[in-house]
């Protein structure tokens, strides 16, 4: 499979994905935003705890 065939297959697959996909409605968008914000907050809290433990231990 050469580069042209790979590119052609990629374009064909991309068109299929775009044809099936749809724009999220407002409640779905809000749910996605909430889940993303919770994920960012959890990662931030974990990082803060690790830094705090490092400071307490003296690393």
Domain spans of the chain, in order of start: 25-58
Rounded to the nearest integer, the mean pLDDT of the chain is 94
- DSSP annotation of 22: -
**Residue length of the chain:** 59
Residue 59, pLDDT > 90, answer no
**In the prediction, which pLDDT does 1 show?**
72
If one counts every other C-beta atom within 10 angstroms of the C-beta of residue 6, the result is 10
Closest listed residue to residue 48, CA positions, set 22, 56, 9:
56
* pLDDT for the residue numbered 57: 92
CA 1 to CA 4: how far, in whole Å?
8
- Say what the pLDDT of residue 29 is: 96
C-alpha dihedral, 43 to 46 to 48 to 53, nearest 10° = -160
């Amino acid at each position: 499979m050469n580069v042209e065939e790979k590119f052609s297959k990629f374009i064909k697959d991309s068109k299929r994905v775009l044809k099936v996909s749809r724009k999220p409605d407002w409640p779905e968008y809000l749910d996605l935003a909430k889940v993303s914000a919770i994920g960012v907050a959890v990662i931030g809290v974990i990082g803060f705890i690790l830094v705090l433990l490092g400071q307490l231990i003296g690393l």
